[in-house]
Amino acid sequence: MGVTRVSLGRRLDVVARRLATAYGRPSRRRSDPLGGLVETVLSQNTSDVNSGRAYASLRAAFPSWEVLAAARPARIESVIRSGGLARLKSRRLKRLLAAVKRREGRYDLCCLRRLTPEQAEARLRGLPGVGPKTRACVLLFSCGHAAFPVDTHVHRVSLRLGLLPPKTDAAKAHQILGPAVPAGRHLDLHLNLIRLGREVCRARAPRCPVCPLAAGCAYARRQAA
């Protein structure tokens, strides 16, 4: 396993460098951890545009987490409707905020920034609606921890590149890729893989001839053949 992880780490380093040459090394402003958690829950099973609108509407309608936690699910549902699955997510947010208040004694997760990545990840486990991808997003984008979210684009590109065994599901992909990402490359590699997946390595009609990773991609070779 150790040799496999080292080998995978080297491949991920090459991928990160090639994507940085093509796209640069993007960065993101850190968000409040609880805000980042709520925003990530809203982003589940929808586009970034729709989830962004839903989150903006949520913060405009509810000036504090306390007000949101006290709101009726039907009211929350009407506010976040643009994000899709509003009924499910409104109830999930109510349960999530209640769980945070019960665990932390207040509506605040800034403590995650003071913990190690492993401790912070463990602190998020068990919260309703918070799976591996959501935990990794909060740790990476809100806390600056070395975490690696695997969304649908990262998952698809990684499978096509052969970074993951065939048919590896998203949960297993987190376990395989996360520990192997080279230090300091978690953020730009994640964001650049998403860009690659959206613009080039699309689910349908991938643009392999213009892909900056085509030379080392078995999928691209099969497409060319």
* Residues with a known catalytic role: 133
d(CA 170, CA 167): 9
Q: How far is CA 147 from the centre of its chain?
A: 9
User: What does the block give as tokens for 194?
Assistant: 């998403």
* Cα separation, 120 vs 110, whole angstroms: 10
Long-range contacts of 80-86, Cβ-Cβ distance < 8 Å, separation of 24 or more: 80/42, 80/54, 80/55, 81/54, 82/50, 82/53, 82/54, 82/57, 83/42, 83/43, 83/46, 83/50, 83/51, 83/53, 83/54, 83/55, 84/45, 84/46, 84/50, 84/54, 85/44, 85/45, 85/46, 86/54
> Which residues, 6+ apart, have CB-to-CB distance to 197 below 8 Å?
152, 153, 154, 156, 157
